[in-house]
Amino acid sequence: MENDKPSGLIMIFGATGDLANRKLFPSIYRLFQKGKLNKFAVVGVARRPLTNEQFQENVKESLSDIAGGQDHAEEFASHFYYHSHDVTSSESYIQLKDIAGKLDAQYGLLGNRIFYLAMAPEFFGTIAEQIKAQGLSDTAGYKRLVIEKPFGHSFESAKELNEKIRTAFSEEEIYRIDHYLGKEMVQNIEVIRFSNAIFEPLWNSRYISNIQVTSSETLGVEERGRYYENSGALRDMVQNHLLQMVALLAMEPPIRLTDDEVRSEKVRALRSLRPVAKDEVKNYFVRGQYGPGSAGGKELPAYRDEHNVDSVSNTETFVAGKLLIDNFRWAGVPFYIRTGKRLEAKSTAIVVQFKDIPMNLYYGAEQVLNPNLLVIHIQPDEGITLHLNAKKAGKDIETTPITLTVSNNSIDRINTPEAYEKLLFDSMRGDATNFTHWDEVALSWKFVDSISEAWETEKDSSFPNYPSGSKGPECASELLKKDGHFWWPIEKLETGG
């Protein structure tokens, strides 16, 4: 791993797109503002014809919502250069190589290069092959390819894409972004588990009843209808974000906190996932699609009425599932996951529900003890809440639920690095811990492929089966009810709720 003040040339393919403007430019700026970059330059690459000056104006405009975003904005933007580019043209890559060589010399970047692909995934393989063929990766320093999701559409398509990319970059040079892994509280899962003696000894089937991972959104598909029609919630959220969180929750303690060891344990956890056969999918997974509804006094359209969506679409906008991990630690403990659009609240949280105590001494007083819960709040709030039982004030021994809460919102939210800032910095430092290895991608796709194949061959006649602005389809509650469990209400997952 390189030092904590790295140097390098960042080439952003898709530099006029939404991701670059909303996330990447502001993230690089924060690193610059905090003095975390030594020497750097950025080449924006896209089809649109722009001059360097026009591109630099776009960069400065992207900083308008950042606190102190105009501080040294001119100096920052002066490090940005633009290349109008045809991804299929060899000549265009030769020109880009010439630009990179000049910037290496001008800024003293030692030949270090990050190739960031912030564009449509169908171009990933072509760009990687051209980078290799035209000598852009022939450099004295490091070379790294940073790729956004989706990484393929199925296991077979992901494998084909990976083989193309591997002709130009080794696995150690490929950084597959899952922006959830850059979130502060997702990274906190390891710390909560492995640095607290009160949790790790209890982190197993003897003490844990079930674990619930929820990622709900209030927004619909907005302008992403065409993409979503080919993806759905299963491929868009479960295959990557949710399974990554499950892997972090379920993995064994690594020998050391190095990228190789952490990712090796995540792979072992994903290998232990019980496969779901196509004829068994209905027993483990349910799906939903939002219909019309209302929220905040505003009428909301059905998914099938959204732009670029088929009027009889069978695409799921909600998924809930029960995962079982067949190893010694987790035998018999269900991991429940759910994700959906147009739900009543925006919340990503993990609930670890501990088993009831063997004997409730307070039954005689007709008291029902609440289960102990550890809640990890990921977004929009960040924090940890521990739900306990304590004595109610007074002479009688009566219990009352209490919560112990730590919230980043009230402590150091202002200093919490945004996910892309953290991941960009890690890619320049050579720390791949919070990026997904090919083995993780492959295992995740193999797991969800049988589910998507079952759903694609069987049209769901109940769609739409939940109104916009609701808790989701009733079938999601039935999934847990069969096991004697229930979903912890989304509104109670908020910090201190």
- For 319-337, what is each residue's pLDDT tens digit? 999 999 999 999 999 999 9
Known catalytic residues? Answer: 241
pLDDT at position 409, please?
65
- Of the pLDDT bands very low, low, confident and very high (cuts 50, 70, 90), residue 497 is very low
**Distant-in-sequence, close-in-space partners of 156: CB < 8 Å, separation ≥ 6:** none
Query: What are the angstrom distances between the C-alpha of 20 and each of 85, 147, 158, 278?
Result: 16, 13, 24, 39
pLDDT at position 366, please?
60
* Token reading at 478: 């039935």
Mean pLDDT of the chain: 92
- Of the pLDDT bands very low, low, confident and very high (cuts 50, 70, 90), residue 423 is very high
* Token reading at 154: 């199925």
Residue 292 CA to residue 280 CA, distance in Å, equals 31
DSSP code, position 365: G
pLDDT at position 242, please?
98
- The mean per-residue pLDDT over the stretch 142-164 comes to 94
More confident residue, 402 or 290: 290
- Of the pLDDT bands very low, low, confident and very high (cuts 50, 70, 90), residue 493 is low
- For 13-69, what is each residue's pLDDT tens digit? 999 999 999 999 999 999 999 999 999 999 999 999 999 999 999 999 999 888 766
| Pairing outcome for strands 318-324 and 334-340 | antiparallel
**Residues above pLDDT 70, as percent of the chain:** 93
pLDDT at 410 over 60: no
pLDDT at position 418, please?
82
pLDDT at 132 over 90: yes
- Gyration radius of the chain over CA positions: 24
Residue 377 CA to residue 408 CA, distance in Å, equals 10
- Of the pLDDT bands very low, low, confident and very high (cuts 50, 70, 90), residue 421 is very high
Neighbours of 22 (CB within 10 A): 13
Lowest mean pLDDT among 88-102, 198-212, 398-412: 398-412
pLDDT at position 412, please?
47
**Residues above pLDDT 90, as percent of the chain:** 80
- Of the pLDDT bands very low, low, confident and very high (cuts 50, 70, 90), residue 70 is confident
pLDDT at position 2, please?
52
pLDDT at position 494, please?
60
Strand, helix or coil for residue 101: helix
- The mean per-residue pLDDT over the stretch 413-438 comes to 86
